[in-house]
Copies of this chain bind each other. A is one copy, B any other.
């Protein structure tokens, strides 16, 4: 797919980076020597800032990719013979080429289906209950992981996170949150970050920044300090401890400063809402899921998506999903003019099908 001269709604990872983050990197690059491998003041400041934002003590480990964040986090929450419960469409199950299996030494991802990209609570409870029932013949329930915001552009609401945490606790297993789009979720729910994480029972959070304005930076946030020591060794062993860690932490510092992360996410969410409202005004267009974050899944009449693409808009279409919907993702830097142009193009091409 060409990316030149097109408006690209393929993903929030087709974007560049926020100017504030580039500025922070430029500053960090010129500030002389700093001890490597995380023993630098940027990393200290990021952890302190996260403690403030999450209103609790925690340990934070910067890494560069969401796959690393998730796979490393899960590897300290499950034994090799453990079961990790996740939605079938979750990134760890569908898009990471087996990274969690690799990092955990072969744990099993057990999928829990549910509408709107979210695990169904009843199915989750039953599935955990059944897994491990055969004793040593079965992998053993170890951890539930939920994606916030989900791959369907929806969010787990406060009560849903609480109910999932209650299920996990009742079964005596851990709770992890894949927050590659955590900013979008918080901007959507409007709650304190603490409310939807540790206060609800989340022990580890993959706190994403890359999709929301950073170059390549995520933080694994550990609310359960018992898990921190092992994480440090696994990160190094996975090749995810940066020598010049200041350059990961400088990104995160700028991302957290002055609520940039929430401002960026709010911008992206607003773009998705604007796009959704415009498209829903078109007779014959529907949406697969409610729009609660920065992704939407319109269903167009046949032929429309190709016509819109021909107008210069890039996005994953029906062929990519082998299904009758397309996906549009807005980002921290999406322009209203581009959204409006998309709506105009869609309006025109849908009208032409009648």
Contact = CB atoms under 8 A, between A and B. Distances in A.
Interface of A: 1, 3, 6-8, 10-11, 13-17, 19, 21-22, 25-26, 28-37, 39-40, 63-69, 71-72, 79-81, 94-99, 101-109, 130, 134, 136-140, 210-211, 215-216, 230, 232-244, 246-248, 314, 322
Contacts of A1: 35, 39
B239 A99 contact: yes
A244 B210 contact: yes
A131 B212 CA distance: 29
A101 to B, nearest CB: 4
B98 A139 contact: yes
Contacts of A32: 3, 8, 16
Give the 10 A-B CB pairs with smallest separation, nearest first.
A68-B239, A8-B33, A101-B106, A13-B243, A67-B239, A16-B29, A136-B236, A17-B29, A14-B33, A81-B233
A41 to B, nearest CB: 8
B215 A79 contact: no
A35 to B, nearest CB: 5
Tallying the copies of this chain within the complex gives 4
Nearest to A63: B239
B11 A230 contact: no
B242 A68 contact: no
A238 B322 CA distance: 28
Contacts of A247: 17, 215-216
Nearest to A106: B101
Contacts of A40: 3
Contacts of A39: 1
A14 B28 contact: no
